[in-house]
Amino acid sequence: LSRRYDTKYSAWDPDQLKSAREDIKELLNFKFCHPILVRLGWHDVGTFNKNITVCPQRGGAIGSLIFEIELKHAANAGLVNALYLIKDIKEKYSRS
């Protein structure tokens, strides 16, 4: 199976991921938002298609729920609230 990955999606800084994880833990200690964040992750992963070999088109946990077309899908109703909760963390660790 041949896989091509765009480096934008595959080369993450482990220290930055660790820091983001700590920020998320802090958010969870401050606000009870565990269920909606789990749901956000679950629905993002649910876009995976094993028959597509090119990333990011194959879906999966790549953050596709930031796009309006995904958020408008009935199954994703309310997930915009989860995105709002993690907005500051996302911006802090944004890769331009």
Whether 14 has a pLDDT exceeding 80, the answer reads yes
H-only helix segments in 1-96: 7-10, 14-30, 34-45, 68-71, 79-85, 87-92
What is the predicted pLDDT for the residue at 5?
A: 42
Which among 73, 78, 89, 12 has a CA at the least distance from the CA of 40? 78
When mean pLDDT is compared across 35-44, 61-70, 80-89, the lowest value belongs to 61-70
Query: 94, 90, 96: which is closest to 40 by C-alpha?
Result: 90
Q: Look up 43 and say whether it is catalytic.
A: yes
96 falls in which pLDDT band (50, 70, 90)? low
pTM of the model: 0.73
4 φ/ψ angles, rounded to the nearest 5 degrees:
-115, 130
Cα-based torsion angle of the residue sequence 35, 62, 49, 79 in order, rounded to the nearest 10 degrees: 30
CATH number of 14-93: 1.10.520.10
More confident residue, 4 or 59: 59
pLDDT in tens, 19-64: 999 999 999 999 999 999 999 999 888 878 888 888 777 878 878 7
**Of the residues 43, 79, 82, 86, which is catalytic?**
43
CB contact at 8 A, 28 and 20: no
